[in-house]
Amino acid sequence: MNAASNFIWYELMTPDPAGAARFYGAVVGWTIAATPDPAAGDVDYRMIGRADGGNAGGVLALNADMLAGGARPGWMGYLEVDDVDAKIAAIKADGGAVHMPATDLPVGRIAMVSDPQGAVFYVMKPIPPEGMEGMESDVFSVTEAQHVRWNELATSDPDAAIAFYKKHFGWGQEGEMPMGELGAYRFIQRGDVGLGAVMPLMDGYPVPVWNVYIGVDDIDRAHAEVTANGGTITNEPMEIPGGEYAMNAIDPQGAPIGFVGPRKP
């Protein structure tokens, strides 16, 4: 499994970090820093803190220039790679694109890329914090609240996308769930860990995109907090295999987001 890429970071891009902090604090229980991280220099970048003291990801404030350049509110995942430059060359050779060239940061080397169908994500070679060399990121968890629990790719060509991620990131694809005329919801794995699924692009998705589902402690409590704090429910809670529930929403700043968790008695 260690040879296959893991989701090691998630980033919320938003024009209103303070508003996002209020929303995700109420819905998920996170604490988003009230001020930018000094290590980010001139960029307004804030850490997302979990109740257990760990980090869930970061928040990038979209300024006027970014918005004018086409940036929009949304969530994006980071995939770990051994060599960022080699990986982006391979992605370009297979029909993908580079949206931000390889860049060195204090935390590692990153680049923003897209797969051949157009879904955007980051690749990263991280520099582990001192004392944490060899440890894996825990921002993704199959089971835990306040972590991203599921990664869902909506794409115009599921077969080609699955082949691309198998080739370049070492993932597997086993199992699927039929969705009638919409096609199949096909599960993807990193070793024996279920990362998420690949599904056909549906109405409401103008372009291929990676969606993330954040774990919550109680889906009905989270549902109430989404609506009470300015969000919009786009898909009501639906039972998923294993007995938990998933729902989709738009946060108050316009970023699509999913939530997954149990229904408390």
- pLDDT, one tens digit per residue, over 207-258 is 899 999 999 999 999 999 999 999 999 999 999 988 999 999 999 999 999 9
Q: What are phi and psi of 23, to 5 degrees?
A: -65, -55
Amino acid at residue number 207: V
Question: What is the pLDDT at residue 114?
Answer: 97
Among 70-74, 97-101, 254-258, the least confident range: 70-74
The angle subtended at Cα 148 by Cα 257 and Cα 206, nearest 5°, is 30
Full-model pTM: 0.94
Share of the chain above pLDDT 70, in %: 99
**179 and 197 in contact (C-beta within 8 Å)?**
no
- C-alpha distances out from residue 194 to 12, 29, 174, 263, Å: 23, 24, 9, 21
Please report the pLDDT score of residue 1 as a whole number: 47
Cβ(201)–Cβ(208) below 8 Å? yes
Is it the case that residue 14 has pLDDT exceeding 70?
yes
Sign of CA dihedral 73, 77, 83, 87: negative
pLDDT band at residue 69 using 50, 70 and 90 as cut-offs: confident
pLDDT of residue 132: 67
Answer yes or no: is pLDDT of 186 > 50.
yes
pLDDT above 70 for 2: no
> How confident is the model over 107-123, as a mean pLDDT?
96
Q: Which of 203, 166, 197, 194 is nearest to 184 (CA)?
A: 197
> How much is the pLDDT for 71?
85
Would you say residue 129 has pLDDT above 90?
no
Task: Specify the pLDDT at position 202.
Answer: 84
Give the alpha-carbon dihedral of 141, 144, 147, 152, to 10 degrees.
60
Evaluate if residue 62 carries a pLDDT over 60.
yes
Mean pLDDT of the chain: 93
Mean pLDDT for 30-57 is 91
What is the pLDDT confidence band of residue 205, given thresholds at 50, 70 and 90? confident
Q: Average pLDDT of 92-117?
A: 95
Burial environment of residue 242 by CB neighbours within 10 A (0 to 12, 13 to 18, 19 or more): exposed
pLDDT tens-place string over residues 131-168: 767 778 999 999 999 999 999 999 999 999 999 999 99
Determine the average pLDDT of the residues in 85-113. 95
Question: Residue 60: pLDDT above 70?
Answer: yes
